[in-house]
A = this chain, B = another copy of it.
Amino acid sequence: MDLPLPYKKIDPEVARKEGHKGYYEAACCYGTFSAIVGQLQKEVGAPYTGIPLGIMKYGEGGVVGWATLCGALNGAAAAINLVTPEEDWKKIIDELMGWYTMEKFPSEISNQYAEQGKFLVEKMKFDKVLPQNASHSPLCHVSVGEWCRASGFASGSSERSERCGRLTGDVAAQTAMLLNAWADKSFKASYKMSDKTVECRGCHETKTEFKAGGFTRGKMECAPCHGEDPHNAKKL
């Protein structure tokens, strides 16, 4: 079957609530994927109805708890891949990944929804406003860890789980906004790498000269793992 499939615009606030609900049903990766593709199954029908929403459940906790890629991003990226042509999904997913690293989660809106009982889940794990922070990474391990350190809540707490539920809604809503903008031909990428990472990548990128530093690849921020001065560090 050829891609992309036909897209019909999704209300970002519907996506936010469905994403949060999906998190409660089967975690983060299923949450964003079902928020977008589930809506398209309802609004468009076939061929979306031939795709089992459960396919993305495995992404939970950065793939069965390994805490690699944030599951909310993984599920959203799969959805974007379905509905846009390759030259566009590359840009839209890149933008979503970059946005995620800079965004303070959970969003103000999600915190308000929780406090005002506007989410679709009846029995919330926690229904007060949660502290917000930006993780500067698309990795579950960093996203969860940095939020725990910023908030003082444990990784196994109900508050942390609810934080990831609201984040799942937020990523689903952002995905709907990006796809709607794309459908309107008004999508513009706005994420910019930090100056520091641009500087590192001046040498350390997917290049053909090993000795000039071309032995690495990726777009994640360098400093959070490698430190501010890795050339003088013992390791990495």
What residue in chain B is nearest A89 (Cβ atoms)?
B58
CB <8 Å contact, B54 and A51:
no
Residues in B with CB closer than 8 Å to A141 are: 216-218, 220
Q: In the assembled complex, how far is the CB of residue A38 from the closest CB belonging to chain B, in whole angstroms?
A: 12
| A55 contacts chain B at the CB level, 8 A cutoff | yes
What residue in chain B is nearest A137 (Cβ atoms)?
B68
Q: In the complex, A50 Cα to B174 Cα: how many Å?
A: 27
Pick the contact of A64 from B51, B66, B78, B94 — CB < 8 Å?
B94
Interface window among A12-20, A108-116, A123-131, A153-161: A153-161
CB <8 Å contact, B69 and A3:
no
Please give the count of copies of this chain that the complex contains: 2
| A57 contacts chain B at the CB level, 8 A cutoff | yes
CB <8 Å contact, B216 and A145:
yes
| A180 contacts chain B at the CB level, 8 A cutoff | no
Pick the contact of A149 from B90, B97, B215 — CB < 8 Å?
B215
Pick the contact of A218 from B49, B52, B67, B138 — CB < 8 Å?
B67
| A47 contacts chain B at the CB level, 8 A cutoff | yes
Per-residue interface assignment for chain A, residues 152 to 180, with 1 indicating a CB less than 8 Å from any chain B CB and 0 otherwise: 11111100000000000000000000000
Q: Which of A182-221 contact B (CB under 8 A)?
A: 205-210, 214-220
| A93 contacts chain B at the CB level, 8 A cutoff | yes
| A81 contacts chain B at the CB level, 8 A cutoff | yes
Pick the contact of A81 from B50, B55, B94, B208 — CB < 8 Å?
B55
SS class, residues of chain A in contact with chain B: loop
Pick the contact of A138 from B68, B78, B225, B236 — CB < 8 Å?
B68
Question: Given known contacts A58-B78, A68-B69, A141-B216, what 10 new A-B pairs fall within 8 Å (CB)?
Answer: A2-B54, A54-B81, A55-B81, A65-B94, A66-B138, A68-B138, A141-B217, A145-B216, A153-B210, A157-B210
Task: Pick 22 A–B contacts, CB within 8 A, sort by A.
Answer: A1-B51, A2-B54, A3-B54, A51-B51, A56-B81, A58-B77, A58-B81, A63-B138, A64-B89, A64-B94, A64-B97, A65-B206, A66-B219, A68-B69, A69-B74, A141-B216, A144-B217, A148-B210, A156-B205, A156-B208, A225-B225, A227-B235
Rank and list the top 5 A-B pairs by shortest CB-CB distance, nearest first.
A50-B50, A67-B218, A148-B215, A154-B214, A58-B81
